[in-house]
Structure 1
């Protein structure tokens, strides 16, 4: 069946590891494909099958995947689990008959993509980070297309580059809806709202450094601070006491349900550089101080921060150099003048790829057709909203 045939309902299988980083773009693609009239199924692990936010229309199939750690003794067991999962996936394909299989990384994607390869089902992998992940590196030579979130992707073998389509990393609809909203007014007299998060579990280094760093800001900035910070439960009271000692108003919690609205109100974000974080910051257009997780596999968070930092939309600080004085120095440089922060917001916005879910769906639908849909969008997302990121009431810089 041609992947370019319009108006025909087909079946697609999405395969992803059980973390939010893998599943968020998978769910976004599922929504888009379902909106276009297709049927979608998910292959994942037990965590992924139970994760909050999974669409109700998306059935989840849990397959054994195996893991391949540093200990070679576990590789045989891992390989056996992968082969078992591959067999189960092939039996699923017999009844579901997918037009294509799309992998989003993580070990649960491996047996599904190997099954697709064995059954000659068209396949594509999506890489959320600026470094090609381990499973995606294993599969790169076997798939029909490689969808990336960045134009520059490390650990991608040059011989596979002709398969690459830059689509971006899909974000939640609630965040994407904020893209055309203006950067919140930031003047010499307005509040200076700072949002601090450290991933799903928080980050102790942020709890230790950020309150003291904010206390060192220039008086004109410090006096206008309004901080929202996510903390680990065990750090909450110590961070609250630290802000109180500096007389800085701060709202602290272990989890914020309304994170999209808080991001909308923020003038500056401070946190890690995970793929979903970068995608959301650039979708909305928010300046950031990024502290890449130093133990991230292949140092991928530092690579994730590269594009937006080069654009001027963020400052990236290695954790070893992330001190209170360095943080204050970087914030003062970004926010001492309203137009400087607004220009950083605009630079961040220009890095966003708001059509990621649609572009990825276009690519997926084209699999099996005469030619793959070319969805590379280099500079193509910057035509609209040319004044986004500017201070309300001011013209573009």
Structure 2
């Protein structure tokens, strides 16, 4: 109910892919007057961009490798993490616990379920992640970023809510700005990034691919490219050899400013990347990371490609010649690129953070919690220690397959 201050716990693995939407939700809930805490691992507690108001709790979670000899230790860590999470809940009394994937979400959600606390999971990718697959049948609601999510059982569709991926405010503000003018004789600005660590394949292919463009396009190029430190000078030399103006860096602090000027994006297909491209409305050539778990980056491209806002090239076929061919198809005529930009824009879900906050607020309200605590037998609602251990075993088994 509006005006009632509640407590919420967000649980996420320590990568940007898991934590970016968690932080966006934290901001949305905090703006509504709620108190929010984070359960994560050591990487997540130290990651840049964590809101100052968000207290982080580092819990043991266990990592399940393919070697069964390590599973007992991992299961023990999950059970200990669950115990510590219950201690946090006894003090913090959350109305709902929200998981964003990653191993730290497992004990946090198991503890919430055993305590009768409302539970929600958010899946950023177009393939349900391992931890979320294990929890999907146990939680109250499942928030998705795409209309089609692989490995999500049909039996769970009744509690699925299409939300999207929350986007950083600085990037989201660009949605109200028009696509930058792209004319037959104006600059053609291309932005190239490979995720937080860069991607060597982009350094190897993109400069030569751009050099193969017809003079009408090549002469107007202005490239901004993120490179790995070891690739930086090599890429600089290639652009100089081709006579293409390029700004290179290992990291761009203000990605919103880079997206604001870009006419075309070339890069990986992580969930946050797709969310930002569609929020702003920028056409793209996407090269999914081939080693991504369950090939989820390829799945992430489906909606944007089907709409006409992007083209996807598998890394095995990502050659300079193929890249040049795809760029020409999108950018030889200004109206073609503008149409692709509009298609990308239409795939955006700019209200994802607020919609997710609405969903979270609808579960585990204070009145319901009081009924559970006073009138219900908490032990009858709680899975046993053995059941929690079985959940961890299920994850270990799936990880090995």
Q: What is the TM-score normalised by the length of structure 1?
A: 0.92
Partner of 1:380: none
Q: CA deviation digits over 1:56-96, x for unaligned, max 9?
A: 00000000000111111111111000000000000000000
Displacement of 1:368 in angstroms is 3.0
**Partner residue in 2 for 1:261:** 257
The aligned residue for residue 396 of structure 2 is none
Partner of 2:349: 353
Identify the match of residue 320 of structure 2 among 321, 324, 327.
Answer: 324
Task: Name the structure 1 match of 2:384.
Answer: none
User: Which residue of structure 2 lines up, in the alignment, with residue 135 of structure 1?
Assistant: 131
Give yes or no for the alignment of 1:290 onto 2:264.
no
- 1:213 alignment partner, one of 194, 209, 212: 209
Asked whether 1:147 is paired with 2:135, we answer no
Partner of 1:173: 169
SS of the residue 1:76 aligns to = helix
Distance in 1, matches of 2:76 and 2:207, equals 49
Q: Does 2:154 correspond to 1:158?
A: yes
Deviation at 1:260, TM superposition (A): 0.8
Q: 2:280, 2:165 → 1: CA distance? A: 13
Equivalent positions of 1:39-118 (< 5 A) are 39-118=35-114
What are structure 1's unaligned runs of at least 5 residues?
Answer: 372-397
> What SS does the corresponding residue of 1:132 show, helix, strand or coil?
coil
3-state SS of paired residue (2:175): coil
Indicate whether 1:193 and 2:203 are aligned: no
Structure 2 residue aligned with 1:393? none
SS of match in other structure, 2:294: helix
Say what the alpha-carbon RMSD is for the aligned residues: 1.0
Distance 2:282 2:73 in 1: 45
Offset of 1:314 from its aligned partner?
Answer: 0.2
Instruction: Please tell me whether residue 299 in structure 1 is matched to residue 306 in structure 2.
Output: no
Q: Pick from 219, 225, 228: which aligns with 1:232?
A: 228
| Residues in 2 aligned to 1:96 and 1:140: alpha-carbon distance in whole angstroms | 24
Q: Distance in 1 between matches of 2:275 and 2:83?
A: 35
Structure 1: which 4+ aligned runs deviate by more than 6 Å?
none
1:142-181 deviation digits (Å, cap 9, x = unpaired): 1000000001000101111111000000010000000010
SS of residue matched to 2:24: helix
SS at match of 2:176: coil
SS of residue matched to 2:71: helix
For each residue in 1:182-206, what CA deviation from the matched residue of structure 2 results, as whole angstroms up to 9, or x when unmatched? Answer: 0000000110000000011110000
Aligned counterpart in structure 1 of residue 120 of structure 2, from 116, 119, 124 = 124
Tell me by how many angstroms 1:119 deviates.
0.5
Residue by residue, what CA displacement relative to the aligned partner does 1:4-42 show, whole Å, maximum 9, x if unpaired? Answer: x22100000000000000000000000000000000000
For the residues of structure 2 that align with 1:69 and 1:163, how far apart are their CA atoms?
30
Residues 322-380 of structure 1, C-alpha deviation per residue, up to 9 Å, x if partnerless? 00000000000000000000000000000000000000000000003699xxxxxxxxx
**What are the superposed Cα offsets for residues 192-241 of structure 1, whole Å, 9 maximum, x if unpaired?**
00000001111000000000000001110001000000000000000000
Structure with higher helix content: 2
Could you list the runs of 5+ residues in structure 2 that have no partner in the other structure?
369-401
Structure 1 residues 251-260 or 183-192, which shifts more? 251-260
Q: Residues 110-169 of structure 1, C-alpha deviation per residue, up to 9 Å, x if partnerless?
A: 100000011010100000000000000010011000000001000101111111000000
CA distance in 1, matches of 2:222, 2:260: 14
1:32 aligns with one of 10, 25, 28: 28
TM-score (norm 2): 0.91
Question: 1:366, 1:208 → 2: CA distance?
Answer: 49
| Residue equivalent to 2:378 | none
Distance 1:325 1:114 in 2: 50
After superposition, give the CA deviation of every residue in 1:239-290 in whole Å (9 maximum; x if it has no partner): 0001111010101010111211011100000000000000000000000000
